[in-house]
């Protein structure tokens, strides 16, 4: 009976999403209300009103870490989009190369991850799909390729989901980010092969294996080295910039030579200036964050002032050091640099608020549910039961739990909020290295967000193929299931070496 009661908060999310077809926002609110009812009324997991309020406030505070970043990330996207600079990317790609496979590799492993790393919220996908359509890709291909472009969701919105995970389990962010990068490397290879196959079958894989390997190698190295030695928050941005540079280098090397190259040099230079101008806000953001991380004087300055420190909640947020502050400065830079009219600013701000509020409420509720489950002993009971049932074989179950969380919520932050503490406690109960198990949670959760049902629906309507939504759901789910299985294969290798 106690186990069933402890499962109800998680089960309610499933029931609301899939049985009653509710939105993530409504599902989170209903599940939170049910969780509050359990902890207030059930003698098995009873909490006082003050403890319930404390857990809810802590949920909001942790969500604010993400919301601070995400608000300005979404705002930056709308500013750029309404000024027409996103559309210019498609025209630029058409001008620089007619090679569809190179266009695709640049989009999936450069431009889309760059936008997603800054903005999060699946915006990279929403930007990429129309660009693929304008480049002449079939609608079904456009949606699948746009989903593949979300391959680095662990670092989406400046790695906010990973940050939340590290906060909840008190694990150093660099450790969680670096470990996630290592586990993700085989998946990056998988997605490179898959993207080429989507466009041109196995012939395309064979034809472009060298270029594909180059994109894979540089993207993987960029992600790992950025996490380990620079900044977890910047990992997605820096690796995307590296692969974009590599893509343009290939295009130049494959371009025409001799007199044609000379006569086109002026036009090419003009195009390069144009694209540099378009991505200048992202360059500005990257430089600012790098300086704040790598220059000791600035590092100490930004971590010393305007700090939200609430000891009763074990909560600390350095507002000037956070990527959210620099995203805000980037929005200001963009407004001034591009001379954006006030009506565009108002429209962008309005749309940002409309998108941001549901996310903020949903994530707060999910984190609050997790906090209530932890404080009331539900997590401990479930962790103990899972440990007794699976023993050390729980390590093979962990990726599927993370995957289910990502699939349900469409958010790495939401999935980590629900499951990462449970994964940690179960690992500790069965003497598994909890850092490894929670990394499995973070990695599988982030990749599974791609197949979130609401995102599938949006993709089908965005590319005007609503009648193929079920087919799209099946193919995308199969694609992501393959990625999660790849993580399980890594676990098998780890388990064999460990024993």
Say how far apart CA 488 and CA 469 lie, in whole Å.
28
406 neighbors 162 (Cβ within 8 angstroms):
no
Tell me: the pLDDT tens digits for 176-185?
999 999 999 9
pLDDT digits (tens, 9 = 90+) for 404-458: 888 866 778 878 887 898 899 999 999 999 999 999 999 999 999 998 776 787 7
Q: Answer for the pair 211, 199: CB distance below 8 angstroms, yes or no.
A: no
Cα–Cα distance, 451 to 453 (Å, whole number) = 6
Q: Give the sign of the dihedral formed by CA 72, CA 407, CA 238, CA 302.
A: positive
Task: Select the highest-mean-pLDDT range: 114-118, 213-217, 272-276.
Answer: 213-217
Residue-level pLDDT at 176: 97
pLDDT of residue 81: 82
Specify the pLDDT at position 364.
Answer: 84
| Residue 256: per-residue pLDDT | 53
Number of H helices, E strands in the chain: 24, 2
**Residue 259 banded pLDDT, cuts 50, 70, 90:** very low
The rounded percent of the chain whose pLDDT value lies above 70 is 95
DSSP, collapsed to helix, strand or coil, labels residue 20 as coil
What does each C-alpha distance from 220 to 215, 225, 265, 404 come to in angstroms?
8, 9, 32, 25
pTM (predicted TM-score): 0.78
pLDDT at 116 over 80: yes
Lowest mean pLDDT among 74-88, 154-168, 294-308: 74-88
- Give the pLDDT score at 266: 46
> Is the pLDDT score of 338 beyond 60?
yes
In angstroms, rounded to a whole number, what is the distance separating the alpha carbons of residues 388 and 392?
9
Residue 114 contacts residue 240 (beta carbons within 8 Å): yes
Percent of the chain having pLDDT more than 90?
A: 43
For residue range 212-223, list pLDDT tens digits in order.
999 999 999 999
- Which pLDDT band holds residue 110 (cuts at 50, 70, 90)? very high
Nearest-angstrom CA–CA distance, 26 and 13: 9
Q: Which tokens go with 292?
A: 């704040």
- Computed over every residue of the chain, the mean pLDDT equals 87
pLDDT band at 396 (very low <50, low <70, confident <90, very high): very high
- pLDDT band of 255, cuts 50, 70, 90: low
> Model confidence at 263, in pLDDT bands (50, 70, 90)?
very low
- Give mean pLDDT, residues 206-230: 95
Tokens linked to 333: 């830079």
Q: Which span out of 116-125, 153-162, 215-224 was modeled with the highest average pLDDT? A: 215-224
pLDDT at 121: 64
Q: Give the tens place of pLDDT for each residue, 29-77.
A: 999 999 999 999 989 999 999 999 998 998 888 788 778 877 888 898 8
- pLDDT value, residue 258: 39
Q: Does the pLDDT at position 118 exceed 70?
A: yes
Check: CB of residue 243 under 8 Å from CB of residue 219: yes
Bigger pLDDT: 470 vs 480 = 480
User: Is the pLDDT reported for residue 273 higher than 70?
Assistant: no
Question: What pLDDT is recorded for position 124?
Answer: 81
């Amino acid at each position: 009976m106690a186990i069933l009661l402890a499962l109800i908060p998680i089960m309610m999310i499933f029931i609301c999403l899939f049985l009653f077809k509710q939105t993530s926002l409504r599902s989170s609110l209903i599940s939170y209300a049910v969780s509050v009812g359990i902890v207030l009324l059930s003698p098995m997991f009873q909490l006082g009103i003050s403890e319930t309020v404390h857990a809810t406030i802590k949920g909001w505070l942790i969500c604010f870490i993400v919301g601070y970043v995400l608000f300005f990330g979404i705002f930056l996207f709308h500013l750029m989009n309404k000024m027409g600079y996103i559309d210019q990317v498609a025209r630029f790609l058409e001008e620089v190369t007619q090679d569809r496979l190179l266009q695709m590799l640049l989009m999936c492993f450069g431009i889309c991850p760059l936008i997603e790393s800054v903005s999060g919220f699946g915006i990279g996908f929403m930007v990429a799909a129309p660009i693929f359509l304008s480049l002449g890709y079939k609608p079904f291909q456009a949606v699948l390729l746009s989903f593949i472009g979300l391959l680095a969701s662990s670092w989406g919105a400046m790695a906010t989901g990973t940050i939340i995970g590290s906060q909840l389990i008190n694990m150093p962010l660099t450790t969680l980010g670096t470990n996630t990068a290592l586990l993700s490397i085989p998946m990056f290879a998988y997605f490179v092969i898959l993207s080429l196959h989507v466009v041109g079958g196995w012939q395309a894989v064979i034809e472009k294996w060298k270029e594909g390997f180059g994109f894979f190698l540089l993207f993987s190295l960029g992600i790992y080295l950025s996490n380990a030695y620079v900044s977890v928050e910047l990992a997605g941005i820096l690796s995307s910039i590296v692969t974009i540079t590599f893509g343009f280098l290939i295009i130049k090397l494959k371009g025409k030579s001799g007199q044609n190259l000379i006569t086109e040099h002026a036009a090419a230079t003009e195009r390069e200036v144009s694209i540099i101008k378009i991505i200048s806000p992202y360059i500005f953001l990257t430089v600012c964050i790098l300086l704040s991380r790598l220059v000791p004087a600035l590092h100490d300055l930004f971590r010393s002032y305007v700090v939200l420190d609430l000891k009763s909640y074990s909560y600390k947020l350095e507002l000037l050091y956070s990527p959210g502050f620099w995203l805000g400065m980037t929005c200001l830079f963009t407004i001034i640099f591009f001379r954006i009219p006030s009506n565009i600013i108002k429209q962008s701000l309005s749309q940002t608020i409309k998108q941001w509020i549901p996310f903020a409420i949903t994530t707060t509720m999910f984190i609050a549910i997790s906090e209530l489950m932890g404080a009331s002993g539900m997590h401990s009971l479930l962790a103990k039961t899972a440990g007794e049932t699976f023993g050390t074989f729980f390590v093979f179950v962990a990726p599927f739990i993370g995957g289910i969380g990502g699939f349900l919520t469409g958010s790495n932050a939401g999935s980590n909020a629900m499951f990462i503490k449970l994964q940690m406690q179960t690992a500790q109960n069965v003497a598994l290295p909890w850092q490894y198990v929670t990394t499995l949670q973070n990695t599988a959760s982030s990749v599974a967000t791609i197949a979130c049902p609401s995102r599938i629906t949006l993709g089908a309507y965005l590319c005007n193929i609503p009648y193929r939504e079920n087919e799209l759901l099946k193919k995308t789910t199969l694609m992501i299931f393959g990625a999660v299985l790849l993580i399980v294969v890594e676990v098998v290798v780890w388990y064999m070496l460990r024993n």
